[in-house]
Amino acid sequence: MWYTAEILISESNVKNNIEFIQSLTGEDTLFSSVVKGNAYGHGIEVFVPIAQRCGVRHFSVFSTNEAYRVKKVAQPNTTIMIMGMVDNDALEWVIEEEIEFYVFETDRLEKAREAALKVGKPARIHLEVETGMNRTGMSLALMPQVFQYLKKHHQQFEYVGLCTHYAGAESYANYYRVQNQIKTFHQVVEQGKERKITPQIYHTACSAALLGFPETKMDMARVGILQYGYWPSKETLIRCLNETQDQRDPLRRAIKWRSKIMSLKEVPAGDFVGYGTSYLTETDMTIAAVPVGYAYGYTRSLSNQGRVLIHGQRMSVISIVNMNMILVDVTNLESVEKGDEVVLIGGQGDLTISVDSFGELSSQLNYELLTRLPYNTPRTVVS
Ligand SMILES: *Cc1c(COP(=O)(O)O)cnc(C)c1O
């Protein structure tokens, strides 16, 4: 309560984005909504119910903790898949709750089997194959042994998926690497078929792969960034625009991050503003203090650089970003008042502060900037 800033999430924009994703996946490919990183900063507890109202029934997370958070707000007939970290001591809970998880090491299979025996339910697993990203995943050479193990212990496992992840499908610079990954994946698919060990689904695509390599969509696409209204890279946006008739961005940003003017002050010409000497007034100025600083995710690298919207106009952040405050030059605004809305990211009037522009000034990637949106700021759904 009494927060200094808030994040508004537009349900209709999310719906627009999900419909766009579904136009890419088509009827035969399931869409898994990726909500790791606190739903890319949008807040798991807020975003998951919105996605569910749009008909989404499958969510992908990174960790057990995120799975727990999704579980708490999800409808009963929802599938949750953990793509990363599951501690051994969490396995029993995960299996009991019928949460699906990636297996990328053989000792994980053994631990999962033990836990499945204890719980009395099969472990619902997705085998992650190493195809060239060299992050997590089991090598081609290991797979025969893994298939053998699954065959032998089939009662303790439900072999839900075979999957991999591409190392940079958002850029054509990685074209050959991704093509090789696709080939390697198909080799493993064949290995399994020869041994008559086949999963319920094959899945490999993230947002960028779905856009740029349609053959990767298979039975399910794991899509994160597009849902929130952002492109995996500029290149993917440009490619998409070239393919559309009207050259309009089909995505709508879901987030608006805003605060309000806390205090106004007149400063005469020739004075320094804020800590140190980084900003000197050249004329008499009116300065607004806005109660967001780096403690709330407004990064310090935006000192003397950031832009915010007030009264539908672009205003400059001056001086150093403080822990709890920024200072904004509002000299040219008429009838500015305490309590006036200040937009940090998102639209006001005809203008928008995009995550991209914010990201460029602070040299952060879309993904990074979004996931760093602070936990200590409340998220509210708006239509
Ligand atoms: C993050 C992630 C995705 C989704 O990536 P986007 O680029 O946001 O669509 C898909 N699969 C895995 C394994 C991931 O880690």
pLDDT at 361: 67
Q: What is the CA(166)–ligand 1 centre distance, in A?
A: 9
- pLDDT at residue 355 in the model: 83
- Is the per-residue pLDDT at 375 higher than 90? no
> Could you identify the atom of ligand 1 that is nearest to the CA of residue 224?
8
Domain residue spans in the chain? 11-242, 255-353
Output the DSSP codes for 48-107: HHHHHHTT--EEEEEEHHHHHHHHHHS-TT-EEEEEEE--GGGHHHHHHTT-EEEE-SHH
pLDDT at site 167: 95
Pocket of ligand 1 (CB under 6 A): 34, 36, 83, 165, 206-208, 222-225, 232
Testing ligand 1's pocket by substitution, the residue of 60, 134, 166, 370 carrying the most ligand atoms inside 8 A of its CB is 60
366 compared with 125, residue with greater pLDDT: 125
**What size, in residues, is the chain?**
383
Fold match between domain 11-242 and domain 255-353: no
Mean pLDDT, range 345-372, rounded to an integer: 83
The top-level CATH class assigned to 255-353 is mainly beta
* pLDDT tens digits for range 57-115: 999 999 999 999 999 999 999 999 999 999 999 999 999 999 999 999 999 999 999 99
Structure tokens at 163: 């999957």
pLDDT-derived band at 359 (thresholds 50, 70, 90) equals confident
pLDDT tier at 363, thresholds 50, 70, 90 = low
The position carrying tokens 């200040």 is 342
187 contacts 228 by C-beta, under 8 angstroms: no
374 close to 4: Cβ distance less than 8 angstroms: no
To which CATH superfamily is domain 11-242 assigned? Answer: Alanine racemase (3.20.20.10)
Do 63 and 254 form a contact (C-beta atoms < 8 A)? Answer: no
341 beta partners:
260
* CA 305 from centroid of its chain's CA atoms: 26
* pLDDT value at residue 362: 66
Reported confidence tier of residue 223, pLDDT bands at 50, 70, 90? very high
DSSP assignment letter at 245 = S
Nearest ligand 1 atom to the CA of 102 is 13
Q: Other C-beta atoms within 10 Å of 72: how many?
A: 10
pLDDT for residue 153: 97
Which residue matches tokens 């537009």?
A: 10
Atom of ligand 1 nearest to the CA of 207: 9
| pLDDT for 1 beyond 80 | no
Residue 127 C-alpha to ligand 1 middle, in angstroms?
16
3-state secondary structure of 112: helix
Q: What is the model's pLDDT at position 366?
A: 84
- Cα distances (Å, whole numbers) of residue 309 to 216, 272, 284, 312, 365: 41, 24, 21, 6, 22
Nearest atom, ligand 1, residue 163 CA = 13
Alpha helix ranges (H) inside the chain: 11-25, 36-40, 44-53, 64-73, 91-96, 106-119, 143-152, 175-194, 207-212, 234-243, 355-361, 366-371
Task: Give the count of beta carbons closer than 10 Å to the beta carbon of residue 190.
Answer: 10
239: which 2 tokens? 């490619």
Q: What was the pLDDT predicted at 368?
A: 86
CA 119/CA 113 separation, integer angstroms: 10
pLDDT at 364: 67
For residue 279 the two structure tokens come to: 């900003």
Mutate to test the pocket of ligand 1, among 165, 178, 251 (most ligand atoms within 8 A of CB): 165
- Please give the distance, rounded to the nearest whole angstrom, from the Cα atom of residue 222 to the centre of ligand 1: 6
Residue 9's DSSP bridge partners are 255, 381
223: left (phi over 0), alpha (psi -120 to 50) or beta: beta
Residue 209's pLDDT band (cuts 50, 70, 90): very high
- Per the CB < 8 A criterion, the answer to whether 181 and 131 are in contact is yes
Dihedral of CA 303/307/308/313: which sign?
positive
Distance 328 CA to ligand 1 centre (A): 37
Q: Residue 327 pLDDT > 70, yes or no?
A: yes
Looking at residue 336, its amino acid is V
Nearest CA to ligand 1 atom 1: 224
Ligand 1: nearest atom to the Cα of 165: 13
pLDDT band at 357 (very low <50, low <70, confident <90, very high): confident
